[in-house]
Structure 1
Amino acid sequence: MFIQTESTPNPATLKFLPGLAVLDSGTADFPAPETAAKSPLARRIFAVEGVAGVFLGSDFVTVTKAEAVLWEHIKPAILGAIMEHFQSGAPVIEGERAESAHAEQDGPDGDIVRQIKELLDTRVRPAVAQDGGDITFHGFDRGVVYLHMQGACAGCPSSTLTLKMGIENLLRHYIPEVTEVRPVAA
């Protein structure tokens, strides 16, 4: 098994491409070891000292390191953990997974929310997945769209620029009711 690695816009995060499917659908974000109970793969990666976060996509694993740790010191162990997991035959996620990555929101803004989610799914999420992350809808209130950034996007130095210049401009162009985009924590 040959696992490729790619850098991301976030210097604390690397994208690992094992060359096979990681998740059949959606994504899974594990921002800390205690959140990884349902993922044997994430638990195995968190066992490497210095790993601060794990994010799983359709065909990639994004790993975020602690600030004081150097990639040269932990990258071989992460590669080994990923390889061992896939050779073990264990599932990536145990049990049921939520179907929708986006928060639900109905009411008078239901049509606007559906438009926002469609633009995120068709135009934004595929692009940020290329960088090893994901962005999901969290809410819409009085013209403000609240988005949750995951994987390489969380804590990325260019995330504010991505939100303001990229996503906000896109949403405002197609949906006049949108006035601003703000990030939220999980």
Structure 2
Amino acid sequence: MFIETETTPNPSSLKFLPQRAVMGQGTREFASPEAAEASPLAQAIFDTGEVTNVFFGSDFVTVTAAPGVSWSDLKPIVLSVLLDHFVSEAPLFAPGTAGGISVPAEDDIMVEESAEDADIIAQINELLETRVRPAVAGDGGDIQYRGYKEGVVYLQMQGACAGCPSSSATLKHGIEGLLKHYVPEVVEVREA
């Protein structure tokens, strides 16, 4: 088995491509060792002690190194963990855990949304799904919708995109421009 790696715009994150599906659908982020307990693979990566975030995409795993950790030291360790996992065909999630898709729950929506905004919200989500998420996944991350109110769209960056030096520019110049162009009611995009 061969696992490719790709750099991401976030110098702390590296994207690992195992040449097979990681998540059947959706994404999943683990921002702490406690959250990683749901996945033996994420837990093993956190067990290196040199990782601050693990993100599962459709066909990739993005790992964020702790501050001061060198990728030249960490990369072979993560590759070994990934190889062991995928060669053994171990399950991605521990039995009985809430594994699977990262979908915001109702209480994850940041703002009280109005029923009159349903069409606008549907347009926003369609654009995020078809135009934004594929591009962000190419950089080793994902973006989650967190709400819309009075022309402001609230989004959360995940994976390599969370904490990336260029994430603010991506939100303001890329995503905000796209949403404003196609959905005139949108006046601003803010990070949640």
TM-score (norm 2): 0.91
Corresponding residue for 1:49? 49
TM-score after normalising by structure 1: 0.94
The one-letter code sitting in structure 1 at the alignment partner of 2:60 is F
SS of 2:9's equivalent?
coil
2:169 alignment partner in structure 1 = 161
In structure 1, distance between residues paired with 2:158 and 2:185: 25
SS at match of 2:143: strand
In structure 2, runs of 5+ residues without a counterpart are: 107-112
CA distance in 2, matches of 1:143, 1:74: 43
How far apart are 1:101 and its partner, in Å? Answer: 2.8
Worse overlay, 151-160 or 34-43: 34-43
Q: Identify the residue that residue 149 of structure 1 maps to in structure 2.
A: 157
Structure 1 regions of 5+ residues with no counterpart? none
Give the match's secondary structure for 1:14: strand
Partner Cα distance (2:123, 2:86) in 1 = 38
Instruction: Using the TM superposition, give the Cα deviation of residue 103 of structure 1 relative to its aligned residue in structure 2, in angstroms.
Output: 5.5
Range with greater deviation from structure 2 (96-105 or 34-43): 96-105
Amino acid at match of 2:152: V
> Percent of pairs identical after alignment?
58
5 Å-filtered alignment, 1:164-183, equals 164-183=172-191
Cα distance in 2 between the residues matched to 1:174 and 1:42? 38
> Which position in structure 2 is the counterpart of 1:37?
37
* CA RMSD after TM alignment: 1.5
Matched residue pairs, number? Answer: 184
Q: Distance in 2 between matches of 1:162 and 1:130?
A: 13
Conservation of the 8 A alpha-carbon contact between 2:27 and 2:100: no
The alpha carbon displacement at 1:141 in A equals 1.0
Moved over 6 A (4+): none
Query: After superposition, what is the alpha-carbon deviation per residue over 1:66-124, rounded to whole angstroms, capped at 9, x for unaligned?
Result: 11111111111000001111122221123454657356556221111111000000000
Task: Determine if contact 1:133/1:152 at 8 Å carries over to the other structure.
Answer: yes
2:129 counterpart letter in structure 1 = D
> C-alpha distance in 1, partners of 2:114/2:86?
40
Structure 1 pair 164/103, CA: closer, same or farther in 2 (3 Å)?
farther
